[in-house]
Amino acid sequence: MVKLHENERYKKIIASPFSYLTGAVLLGILNIVHYIMLESGWSVTGAFFYFEDIWKNLSGTACDRLSCQENAMLAVGPNIRNLGLLVGALISVFTCARFKIKGIRSTKQVIAAAAGGLLMGYGAGTAGGCNISAFFTAAASLSLSAWIFLIFLFAGAFVGVKLLYKFL
């Protein structure tokens, strides 16, 4: 009996990474399916803003926005999608047989991760969304803002990598 990790199909489809072209085509197909099913662009962080509305609806507290209840109910689908992204990422990591729990190297690493997460959350909050909707959804609509975002995304990634090498 052949072990799963020795199976050639498994190695080709799951264990080895997709090419950039395959990944781009799959993302495009997923974006089309998402738009057809939910009739909205693909976004991730936008759904998190409705947790407060959902909480207010459950607790009976008055909402300060006119469309609070309607938006909170509409956000259930995107939040389920977000949970699916997390579960799918875990399945991906576990099936590629490269998963390994690593210990925390230092307090500096924890502080850097927490600061990075807070800055990303703050940036997504002030921008009204994340990079998925800022580029992926906007580029599908042929929006100029997506390409401007892409330029600054690469610039920010370049600076971020330089800072990582310097401080970590």
Q: What is the CA radius of gyration of the chain?
A: 20
Residue 111 has pLDDT above 80, yes or no: yes
State residue 159's pLDDT score: 93
- Residue bearing the bigger pLDDT, 84 or 74: 84
Produce one character per residue of 46-56: b if its CB has 16 or more CB atoms within 10 Å, e if not: bbbebeebbeb
- Reduced to 3 states (helix: H, G, I; strand: E, B; else coil), residue 116 is helix
Which residue, among 45, 50, 58, has the nearest Cα to 75 in the 3D structure? 50
Q: Which position has the higher pLDDT, 128 or 41? A: 41
Whether pLDDT at 20 is above 90: no
- Closest listed residue to residue 48, CA positions, set 132, 147, 152, 112: 132
Residue of higher predicted confidence among 52 and 109:
109
Residue 53: pLDDT over 90: no
pLDDT at 14 over 70: no
Virtual torsion, Cα 147, 152, 158, 159, nearest 10 deg: 180
- Kindly report the pTM of this predicted structure: 0.56
